[in-house]
Structure 1
Amino acid sequence: MSLLPLLAMLLSLRIAISDLYARRVPNAWLAVAASAALAWLLGSRIAGADDALLPHVGGAVLGLAALLPFYVVGWMGAGDVKYFAVLGLLLGWQALLPLWLLSSLLAGAHVLGLVLTRQLAAALPLRLQLLRERAVQHWQRRPVARDIRGARQGRVGIPYAAYLAFATVALVLWHLHGEAS
């Protein structure tokens, strides 16, 4: 396995944890991964290795351009867009479509689950609705729930970066398995 897919997997694990817990994609992690990728690509180019610079830089530009409109209209956070661009840099432009498709399917399943849960909750008998409400209130008083709310600082939404991270790990492992076969 090359350094760049390994770096993409390690970054993805950190991003998934951060996005699920705090709904944040830290710029520092993205900057370190992008800097390491550029250093690797430039070093490989100077050494005459096979890692082509253009597909990776093109992936970064394409990744940024593909998701930027979703940020502009307010459907996506800036961290998600920057993370997708870094994934394009790490994995090349060819990986972006499968990553986008898989992560969008995961996000869509998340939304569908939320909608169905709300509809089911409204259809429950009153006694079960009250029991559900008490369980939610009990959960909200737990220290871990307070810690999560504090870490999120009011940020809400689908953890799209986490779904991108899951898709990245799956794609890298799938390619690794394909190479081993």
Structure 2
Amino acid sequence: MTLLGLLAIGICLRIAISDLYARRVPNAWLLAACALAVPLLIAGQVTTPRLPWLSHVGAAALGLVALLPFYAVRWMGAGDVKFFAVLGLLLGMQALLPVWVVASLAAGLHALVVLMSRRLGSMLPLGLQVQVSRASSQWQTHPALRDMQSARQGRRGIPYAAYLAIAAIGWILFRAYGGFS
């Protein structure tokens, strides 16, 4: 596994946790990843085999441009778009499509589960609806959930950056240990 791969795993873990907990993708972490990636890409030009820096820089640009329309129509947060660009910088062009496909499928499944759970709730027998409502109200008062809701500051939606992070970690591990080169 390369240093860029290790850096990518580290930033992916941090972003996944932040997105799941607070629905935030901190710019400071994205900038730090870029600040560490650029010297590694430059150093990779004097080692053997040479790192294909153009693939990494091109992937960063493509990652940004590919998801920007989704931000423009407000289907995605700016942090998700910037994180995908950083993943492009860290992992290169060959990672973008598989990471995007897996993350998008996971996000689609998440959305389907949310929509189905809303519909199923009204179809339950009345006694079960009361039990679900009681359990839900107890859960809403749990301190951990209140802290998480406070950290989210009203932000809602699917944690797409977390799905990108999980897909990227899977891609890195597959390439390093179980896949083709």
Measured against the shorter chain, the TM-score band is: over 0.9
In structure 2, the residue matched to 1:67 is 67
Q: Distance in 1 between matches of 2:125 and 2:106?
A: 31
Counterpart mapping for 1:51-66 below 5 A? 51-66=51-66
1:179, distance to aligned residue in structure 2 (A): 6.0
Q: Distance in 2 between matches of 1:134 and 1:160?
A: 30
What is the SS of the residue equivalent to 1:76?
Answer: coil
Q: Distance in 1 between matches of 2:147 and 2:2?
A: 37
**Higher alpha-carbon deviation: 169-178 or 144-153:** 169-178
Residue 116 (structure 2) pairs with residue 116 (structure 1): yes
In structure 1, the residue matched to 2:29 is 29
One-letter code of the match for 2:162?
Answer: A
One-letter code of the match for 1:140?
Answer: Q
Residue 150 (structure 2) pairs with residue 153 (structure 1): no
In structure 2, the residue matched to 1:142 is 142
CA RMSD of aligned residues (A): 1.5
- Note closer, same or farther for the CA distance 1:122–1:179 as it changes in structure 2 (3 Å cut): closer
1:178, distance to aligned residue in structure 2 (A): 3.3
CA offsets 1:86-120 (integer angstroms, 9 cap, x no match): 00000001110000000001001101111111111
* Long gaps (5+) in structure 1: none
Q: Distance in 2 between matches of 1:51 and 1:158?
A: 34
1:48, distance to aligned residue in structure 2 (A): 6.5
- Note closer, same or farther for the CA distance 1:58–1:174 as it changes in structure 2 (3 Å cut): same
Q: Distance in 1 between matches of 2:105 and 2:49?
A: 36
One-letter code of the match for 1:16?
Answer: A
In structure 2, the residue matched to 1:98 is 98
Scaled by the length of structure 1, what TM-score is found?
A: 0.96
1:11, distance to aligned residue in structure 2 (A): 0.6
> Runs of 4 or more off by more than 2 Å in structure 1?
46-49, 178-181
CA offsets 1:22-63 (integer angstroms, 9 cap, x no match): 000000110000111111111222456511210000010000
Q: Distance in 2 between matches of 1:47 and 1:10?
A: 23
Scaled by the length of structure 2, what TM-score is found?
A: 0.96
- Note closer, same or farther for the CA distance 1:180–1:97 as it changes in structure 2 (3 Å cut): closer
Q: Percent identity?
A: 57
Q: Distance in 2 between matches of 1:52 and 1:78?
A: 27
